[in-house]
Structure 1
Amino acid sequence: MKRAHRHRVWLALAGVLVALAGCGGEQEELSQWMAQQRREVKPNVTPLQPPKKFEPEPYSGLDVVEPFSSQKLTVALRQEARQPSSVLAAELNRRKEPLEDFPLDSMTMVGSVSKGGRPHALLKVNNLLYQVGVGDYIGQNFGRITAISETEIKLREIVQDAAGEWIERPMALQLQEGRR
């Protein structure tokens, strides 16, 4: 029994060796073909262009007001004061209201009430509650409330467009029920 088992192992080993010997010939043929292809094929690589020399450009905007500074707004408001547009003229000559010191995105509408038949909204700003009505001003862009419903405050703001002209823009503050 042991002898038959040894005989099978030797036959299996011989079969593996014969199979490996058969693969070796194909490997040699493949290696020869690869060497021949390397000799025949010539790569066509274009040389890289040398980098261009960096020429620093002098900054010519040192004497101009920075585009992102508060001075730019001041300069623009002074120019408008000299020759105000009809949209902005009335806004510059009136007294500012307390809620004009806060940006609109810091305000939250938390409710609405009716006083004397007129709708009023409740605004939460910095954990303080304010009552506003139609015609009141809020926000930093001359925002004036035009309508109040149970779910939103509609207002118009005066902002500069890309050309520097002052235009009216409609905005709305929605009731925020989850933020009480």
Structure 2
Amino acid sequence: MSRLLERCPPVALHTLAAAALAVLALAGCGPSEDDGLRLWMDQTRAAKAPAPEPLPDVKPYTPREYAGRSSPEPFAQTKIGELNKSMTESPEAGRRREPLEDYPLENFKMLGMLKKNGETYGVVRVDNKIHHVKVGQYLGQSYGRVVRINDQEIVLRELVREGVSDWKEKMTSLKLEASA
């Protein structure tokens, strides 16, 4: 077979290749086997779609009469003024604030405890400054009063706002810093 190809002129080889390609291309043009699919599509197109269900009747809206005209006005300036006053009131209004109440309690680090003249002091660091605190002093921004000091923690009683004008006591502690 290879000798036959060697003897054929190049034009004949091109003609032979073109004929083979044409035969292969026409082989795909045989009868189609998707007649069933075409039949189903034709039947589906011919079938009538069911009619949509009618919409339900809409009941007309009748507005209600406002019966609260005799009630106090919820947006009256007197009510808003009372609310603003209760929001700014301190639970310990007569007491003068101490310097350590300017810092959030999260900024305090307990460094230790010491006793001097029979009184126990907690040693804390805040804003890169060391302070000595004793029972009765105030720390933090939530009216935290020191109630107990030991070698592991400083216990505080905080007053936390609950709702608009109610205050709730919450016990919090500063634990001794492990790396101190």
Give TM-score, length-normalised by structure 2. 0.56
Cα deviation digits, residues 109-157 of structure 1 (max 9, x gap) = 1411222355432222222221112221112222111223344322111
1:30 deviates by 1.7
2 CA distance for matches of 1:114 and 1:16?
A: 103
Letter of the 1:143 partner, please give it.
Answer: G
Look up the match of 1:111.
Answer: 111
Look up the match of 2:146.
Answer: 145
Percent of residue pairs identical:
30
1:165–1:40: structure 2 CA closer, same or farther, 3 Å change rule?
same
Look up the match of 2:43.
Answer: 36
2 CA distance for matches of 1:168 and 1:30?
A: 78
2 CA distance for matches of 1:170 and 1:151?
A: 16
Letter of the 1:36 partner, please give it.
Answer: Q
* Preserved CA contact (<8 Å) 2:108 2:174: yes
2 CA distance for matches of 1:162 and 1:168?
A: 13
1 CA distance for matches of 2:130 and 2:170?
A: 26
Letter of the 2:103 partner, please give it.
Answer: F
1:137–1:34: structure 2 CA closer, same or farther, 3 Å change rule?
same
Is 1:73 the counterpart of 2:87? The answer is yes
Paired residue total: 145
Look up the match of 2:27.
Answer: 17
2 CA distance for matches of 1:31 and 1:119?
A: 97
Aligned-residue CA RMSD in angstroms?
4.0
1:29 deviates by 3.0
Letter of the 1:73 partner, please give it.
Answer: M
2 CA distance for matches of 1:174 and 1:16?
A: 89
Letter of the 2:33 partner, please give it.
Answer: G
Cα deviation digits, residues 10-62 of structure 1 (max 9, x gap) = 5xx759935x746x322x43244234324436375998xxxxxxxxxxxx748
Give TM-score, length-normalised by structure 1. 0.56
1:15–1:104: structure 2 CA closer, same or farther, 3 Å change rule?
same
Letter of the 1:17 partner, please give it.
Answer: A
SS in 2 for 1:25: coil
| Runs of at least 5 residues in structure 1 that lack an aligned partner in the other structure | 48-59, 78-87
* Preserved CA contact (<8 Å) 2:110 2:153: no
2 CA distance for matches of 1:62 and 1:131?
A: 49
SS in 2 for 1:100: helix
| Runs of at least 5 residues in structure 2 that lack an aligned partner in the other structure | 6-15, 56-73
SS in 1 for 2:33: helix
1 CA distance for matches of 2:140 and 2:96?
A: 14
Look up the match of 2:132.
Answer: 131
Look up the match of 1:159.
Answer: 160
* Preserved CA contact (<8 Å) 1:148 1:154: yes
* Preserved CA contact (<8 Å) 1:109 1:152: no
User: Which structure is larger by alpha-carbon Rg, 1 or 2?
Assistant: 2
